Structure 1
Amino acid sequence: MALLTLAEAKQQLDIETTGHDAELPLYIDALAPVIEGYIGPVENRIVTETITSHGPALCLRQTPVVSLTSVTPVLEGAALDVASLALDTVTGVIIRRDRSLFCPGPWTVVYVAGRGTVPATVKLAAAILLQHLWRTQYGAARGAVGGSDDYAVTEPVVGFGYAVPNRVLELLEPYKTPPAVA
């Protein structure tokens, strides 16, 4: 599942020929890491991670979470029945339904992180980001002048520099990942 297809990218950029078909996938592939760096996984992926238990809960690092596949103690013991666990898909916190504690030690957790489907607002943000990135390369050749249009970013956003326009960040705001707990 890609944030944009080649056809959607060409439509956003008003490209009607095949002249850029070899170059556009590079731009399309660059969208997901930038957007996911801000809002967490969008495209579904299987994640395996080792987590140290802190008593009543296990906390997954990549959120949101679509589903939980397995939870297995690293040192000894059988995998837990995932039906006996409650998962907060937004925060990635796993607790036991019977409220018992997880035994100390590392656990191997396999889960699917992502959003199931790409929300329309995130898809629009990806299209606008694509247009911005494409325009920075081809702007002068297509008549774009200076930084006076909607794609100008007058102040850098911490961690993003000038690569992500403010309008993209505003579209992604409702989907921002919650702060991590150490």
Structure 2
Amino acid sequence: MALLTLAEAKAQLDIDTTTHDTELQTYIDALTATIERIVGPVENRTVTEVIEGRSTTLCLKSVPAVSLTSVTPVHTSGDTLSVADLHLDGTTGIVRRLDGGTFRGGLWTWVYVAGRGTVAPTINLASRILLQHLWRTQYGAARGNIGGGDDYDVNEPVVGWGYAIPNRVLQLLEPYKVPPAVA
């Protein structure tokens, strides 16, 4: 599953030759990290992380989380748990023990699947618009007015993003933003 296929990218840019396929694929590949920085993992992937347990809940870093694969204490003195003993809130990444107990015993190694399973049409559209914007920075007027005139001028960049991501992309991704991290 990709955020954007080569065929979708070429359709968005009105390209009907294979001349730029290699370069265009580089742009497509680069979109994933940028989009996922805002919305979290889209493409499903296995994540392994070590989290210190001291309370009745733990919070996974990569959300949304699809499923838990395993949880093991780093030190053998900790409790052992089965994923069947746990409840995962996939949207927030919060994990609770079903028996109401605490995650004690120090560090735990968590293996889980993070992602969305499918690419929402809005995320795909945001990816297309971002590709169009980035492609235009490379080819500009030489490729004609891809996207139409000054449509991609940015007068007031969003703090932290500069001019790399147009506001329209950020607005499309807003409903899918990951919750802020909790320290």
Work out whether 1:103 is the aligned partner of 2:110: no
Output the CA distance in 1 between the equivalents of 2:179 and 2:51.
19
What SS does the aligned partner of 2:61 have?
coil
Aligned residues of 2:35 and 2:127 also touching (Cα < 8 A): yes
Output the CA distance in 2 between the equivalents of 1:124 and 1:144.
19
Work out whether 1:21 is the aligned partner of 2:21: yes
- The 4+ residue runs of structure 1 with deviation greater than 3 A are none
Output the CA distance in 2 between the equivalents of 1:160 and 1:54.
35
Q: Deviations over 1:5-27 (max 9, x none)?
A: 11111111110111111111100
Which residue does 1:54 correspond to in 2? 54
> Aligned-pair distance for 1:74?
0.5
> Aligned-pair distance for 1:36?
0.8
- Structure 1 letter corresponding to 2:61: R
> Aligned-pair distance for 1:100?
1.1
Q: RMSD of the alignment, in Å?
A: 1.6
Aligned residues of 1:55 and 1:104 also touching (Cα < 8 A): no
Which residue does 1:70 correspond to in 2? 70
> Aligned-pair distance for 1:87?
0.4
Which residue does 2:87 correspond to in 1? 86
Q: Deviations over 1:69-107 (max 9, x none)?
A: 011111015742111100010111110011111113000
- Structure 1 letter corresponding to 2:67: S
Work out whether 1:117 is the aligned partner of 2:118: yes
Name the TM-score, length of structure 1 as normaliser: 0.94
> Aligned-pair distance for 1:152?
1.4
What SS does the aligned partner of 2:102 have?
coil
What fraction of aligned residue pairs are identical, expressed as a percent? 67
Which residue does 1:149 correspond to in 2? 150
Gaps (5+ residues) in structure 1?
none
> Aligned-pair distance for 1:149?
2.1
What SS does the aligned partner of 2:22 have?
coil
Gaps (5+ residues) in structure 2?
none
> Aligned-pair distance for 1:140?
2.0
